[in-house]
Amino acid sequence: MTSDRAVTSDGAGTAGGPLGGSAPAGDGPAGQASIKPDGEWLRVHPASPFIRGWVALAAIGFFFGRDTFERMLQGRPLMDEMYSGRVPFLIAGGGLVLVLSVLGFILTWYFTRYQVAEGYVRVNTGFLFKQQRQARLDRVQAIDIVQPLLARIFGLAELKFEVADAGESAVRLAYLRIDDARQLRATILARAAGLEPDPERPDEALPEAPEFPVLSVPPSRLIGSLLLSEQSFFVVVGAVASVVLSTVTDNRGFYFYLIPAALGLAAAYWGSFNKGYNFTAAISPDGIRLRYGLLDTQAQTLPPGRIQALKVTQPPLWRIFGWYRMQVNVAGYGGPGSNGEGASRTTLLPVGVLADVMRMLSLVLPDPGTPDPARVFAAGLTGIAPAGRPGPARQPAAAEAAEAGEPDSGFVTSPRRVRLLAPLGWRRNGFTATDTALLIRSGRLWRELVVVPHQRTQSMALHQGPLARRFRVADLVLHTTAGPVSPRVIQAGLDEARALFDAQAARAREARKRQTSEQWLAQVAPAAVVEPDNPQNHQEGPQHG
């Protein structure tokens, strides 16, 4: 990473003046200034509107060019007789549209400027309707570098900066040169972490934090996981059903209905493959780094303590190979599809074996809060309460239970009376609490383990319907930010649920008091944090995995 890379710099705009009129639009990329950590208003790469708007340009070209091209091929005159008198007008009209759109591109580029200063990122956009968006650096929830295929060809990248409001207000900078994007990410993360620029050399760019690879997903496993996924199951069922239907009814028409379905499925498989390809995870003092993508690549950085909730799931067929999937709630990302990006951003691990899961868990939850985390989490993933024995009457803490050698690592499952309501799941559905997180497991066939750190609990609610009241059970819902994980303890016995409700409120309160600054390096000496360890909530907890 070098700091001599130049971004477009606007000489007149340092004071945040509205237009910076003295800087001609053309000379942007030639500017020699290195990234100044403070104050300077910068522009994105001048090619970016064309990369973003190439579809529009291509559409215009297609619209005007197709007919002419066809006529040329067929050897007919280029224009109909009736239009021949208007050729100049048509060409002028087409040219005008083209010029206008290019002008629009240039204007959007010219009026899009950004600045990193005084603990804020500010982005100005728009020339008719101006918008200034600013985000506090210490509220950064996640920061992504996205490279769509076309941008990748040109060596450009989009920088996306999430603050906490469910994907509504991401700050986007599209496009920067990839080196500049990385440099800016390092600067933002360093500021967000609480590192101050060196007062003697304030212009020097901050070095990127070192990172340590943790795991990667081989393509063969990714393909296998797609073939054994839930959607494959439905594909097989659908195919069998249509074949049976067509033989029974002697109607070949069913095959035709399969064509659009097959196309859609192929697109879905391709999407998952494209997104999950070459998935690697690494840890750095700035947080967890995830990289993935075949054609469009993406690099996510999740700073420490930004993960609000996490779930590990295992579809039935993945059990053959012992694979798991991990998804997270991050305040900036929002739910799947909420900004049209599918589920890939909230995936912490598309497919991995138990060791991978444990390793990722140790990154997310550096202090598991129990002396034997491997056993507790394994019980959460695959465990089941022994048959015929009622669950523990009181709630032992997981640590206590591990010491006492409880067979189920302290998981409190549904009472036996619920077996009519949940004949398969009643021994599996349960919860346990470590000193730092609440673990909720459920599902006999679709196994699921949800982990919510105590200090991330927002609010909770006890729910009970009429049927649940007959069985004296209740559900406890933990509210977390929008995302794929929705923690819910299902069908816990009423007394256990009530006790958990009170205990969890107390635990969350304690955890909030312990919670340190949002600036995760502020308390730690900046030079010392290179070991792969999450610097927040430092307690001497054992590392697991």
Q: Cβ-count burial of 475 within 10 angstroms (0-12 exposed, 13-18 middle, 19+ buried)?
A: middle
Q: Identify the residue among 164, 206, 228, 363 touching other proteins (CB under 8 A).
A: 164
Q: DSSP character for 443?
A: -
* CB 470 within 8 Å of CB 446: no
Give the containing element (helix H, strand E) for 152: helix 149-153
CB-hemisphere CA count at 13 Å for 52?
21
Q: Whose Cβ is closer to other proteins: residue 297's or residue 537's?
A: 537
Kindly write out the interface string for residues 436-475 of this chain, putting x where it contacts other proteins by CB under 8 A and - elsewhere. -------------------xxxxxxxxxxxx--xx-x-x-
Q: Whose Cβ is closer to other proteins: residue 66's or residue 470's?
A: 470
| 141 contacts other proteins (rule: CB under 8 A) | yes
Nearest to 161 by CA among 178, 145, 150: 145
What residues does 43 pair with on adjacent strands? 8, 113
Q: Are strands 156-162 and 120-125 parallel, antiparallel or unpaired?
A: unpaired
Least CB distance to other proteins at residue 301 (A): 17
For the chain, how far is it from start to end, CA to CA, in angstroms?
Answer: 32
Least CB distance to other proteins at residue 328 (A): 14
Q: Whose Cβ is closer to other proteins: residue 375's or residue 456's?
A: 456
Contact region with other proteins (CB under 8 A), list: 81-89, 277-285, 512-520, 534-542: 512-520
Least CB distance to other proteins at residue 332 (A): 10
Least CB distance to other proteins at residue 237 (A): 33
- Dig out the tokens for 360 from the structure: 């990722």
Residue 398 sits at the vertex; the CA angle it makes with 397 and 399, to the nearest 5 degrees, is: 90
Least CB distance to other proteins at residue 479 (A): 4
Identify residues 399-438 at the interface with other proteins (CB under 8 A).
Answer: none
Nearest to 450 by CA among 306, 307, 308, 311: 311
Residue indicated by tokens 């839930």: 230
| Total residues interacting with other proteins, rule: CB under 8 A | 40
Nearest to 210 by CA among 516, 543, 526, 478: 526
Kindly write out the interface string for residues 110-139 of this chain, putting x where it contacts other proteins by CB under 8 A and - elsewhere. -----------------------------x
Instruction: Give the CA dihedral 364, 369, 371, 377, nearest 10 degrees.
Output: -50
Q: Whose Cβ is closer to other proteins: residue 85's or residue 466's?
A: 466
* CB 180 within 8 Å of CB 5: yes
Least CB distance to other proteins at residue 393 (A): 18
Identify residues 482-511 at the interface with other proteins (CB under 8 A).
Answer: 482, 486, 494, 497-498, 501-502, 505, 508-509
Whether omega before 175 lies within 30 degrees of 0, making that bond cis, reads yes
Least CB distance to other proteins at residue 300 (A): 18
Q: Cβ-count burial of 453 within 10 angstroms (0-12 exposed, 13-18 middle, 19+ buried)?
A: buried
Kindly write out the interface string for residues 73-112 of this chain, putting x where it contacts other proteins by CB under 8 A and - elsewhere. ----------------------------------------
Q: Whose Cβ is closer to other proteins: residue 28's or residue 167's?
A: 167
Q: Whose Cβ is closer to other proteins: residue 307's or residue 402's?
A: 307
Summarize as ranges the residues that interact with other proteins (CB under 8 A): 139, 141, 164, 166, 306, 308, 331, 455-466, 469-470, 472, 474, 477, 479-482, 486, 494, 497-498, 501-502, 505, 508-509, 512, 515, 518
